[in-house]
Amino acid sequence: MIYDTLIVGSGSAGNILAARLTEDPTRQLLLLEAGPDYLTRESLPADIRLGYGTPSGIIAQSHDWGYTGLASQMRDDMPVPRGRVVGGSSAVNAQIFLRGIPEDFAAWAKLGNDRWSFDRVLPYYCKLENDHDFGWAEHHGCEGPIGVRRYPEEEWGPDQRAWAEACRQAGFPECPDANKPGSTGIGPFPLNNIAGVRQSTAVTYLAQARRRPNLRVLANCTTRRVLLENGRAVGVEVAREGRSEQYYAEETVLCAGAIGTPQIMMLSGIGPAPQLEEVGVGVYHHLPGVGGNLRDHPTVNLNWELLFEPTGLFHWHQAGLRYTAQGSDVTNDMIVYIAAVPENWGDSGSFLFVRPTVNLAVGAGELRLRSNSIGDQPFLNYRYYEEQFDRERQREAIRLCTELIEEHPAFRGIRGSVLEGPEDALHDDTALDRWILANADTGHHTSSTCKMGLPSDPLAVADQSGRVFGIEGLRIVDASLMPDSVRANINATVMMMAEKIAAEIAGEN
């Protein structure tokens, strides 16, 4: 059978595309996923169903790709969790549903992606959400599949209330709706978590579409490569149940994420010719931007002893701070997450966890193949903090967090002594830079490894509709398509991108 559309990756983007495109009963669609599938909400394991975040360390190995990356020359083997399950990373993430800000999309448009300005993407942010708090507002939606809510302040934990009080007294403004254009400051995070259940694309979009006769979902099959004939993608080769199988379609859409998509592309012979030749992959189409422009939100972890034990239904983050670094012309370029981590979440006991993060980094890294096998994960060289501006902002954020937590009276009875931090290096720029490089960590927002752009851009991989340059019938719709990251957790933006491109494919815009 030749399908109309074949989607590789049943994650944040893939499930939305599958659900929207099969609204047309004449379109036959095949959706492939490397991880397991759970057909009902009741059958979901706890690490998928409930509101635990990726840093918890409790995500089952069977639901994680097990990637590692090079954070800096002073820190190797950094875990890079990514979801390997129907639902993808939307099924394992921390459910912080922040949108990109208008300035992000102005930057995308300036790079030649004029159809991605904020006024063009806002309708799709609204279309996908059912905001329980602000759905009535003109910049929100109340009828979409993804439920969104915020914890009211009276439900915040003691650590969250102390953090908010310290931030307010430090002069940061109130931010009741962090997804309102122009917002900044301290306030509740929007969360795609309703009644303790993670609102992944599997339990929302895909659940609504599963019974359609024109949709076929195949799990536990790993895509090895795209099948190419005469400059056109005609399908894919997968490993399934110990054997090799081929599936064919008029259009193949890669939704395997910012790591999986460029890896599949390169294993198919599409990418930088010298890199492919190094690992014995025959070059089908030289496309130098594949795997380049690796973006993330670099961060470090600061931990203190926790003087109380969290109880009741626990969510990883309830309130957060976004702000603009001193001397920066990049609005909202910093974000701070804080959480009281329960004792039963790991092997180190409970602790107060603080994560100051560069929300739009200057630096970029690279993804390269290690071999010609899909079974060997690619080399992820993030190159965090090589840029001076990134180090300067991270130093400031570490000092700000340390001052607020160690000196503000709201934290008395909440935090004890430092468990992880720069200690004597705090006030020495050179020493603090060394500590940052040695402790650099992922913000879990890998993106931009197959960026969209103009054909004249030598590093652009696809056009504004995700169509890969030089290969007919092949499209990309996932975080790898972003020309740069957004100043937010990226899951809501990936969903928006899928809604927008699905509407275009369906001829709705």
State how far the Cα of 468 lies from the Cα of 286, in Å rounded to an integer: 12
Phi first, then psi, for residue 199 (nearest 5°) are -90, 70
- Catalytic residue (choose from 63, 297, 315, 445): 445
State how far the Cα of 498 lies from the Cα of 466, in Å rounded to an integer: 10
State how far the Cα of 317 lies from the Cα of 320, in Å rounded to an integer: 8
Whether residue 445 lies in the annotated active site = yes
Could you list the beta-strand ranges (E) of 362-420.
Answer: 366-368, 379-381, 415-420
CA angle 479, 484, 489 (to 5 degrees): 60
State how far the Cα of 351 lies from the Cα of 40, in Å rounded to an integer: 35
Q: Are 415 and 405 in contact (CB under 8 A)?
A: yes
The letter for the amino acid at 153 is E
State how far the Cα of 102 lies from the Cα of 120, in Å rounded to an integer: 11
Tokens of 405: 């937590």
Closest by CA to 43, choosing from 209, 203, 237, is 203
Secondary structure of residue 343 in the 3-state scheme: helix
State how far the Cα of 489 lies from the Cα of 58, in Å rounded to an integer: 20
State how far the Cα of 26 lies from the Cα of 450, in Å rounded to an integer: 31
What dihedral do alpha carbons 446, 452, 458, 459 form, nearest 10°?
Answer: 10
The letter for the amino acid at 334 is M
Secondary structure of residue 271 in the 3-state scheme: strand
State how far the Cα of 288 lies from the Cα of 49, in Å rounded to an integer: 39
Secondary structure of residue 199 in the 3-state scheme: coil
State how far the Cα of 138 lies from the Cα of 109, in Å rounded to an integer: 23
Helix, strand, coil percent values for the chain (each to nearest 5): 30, 25, 45
Q: State the catalytic residues.
A: 445
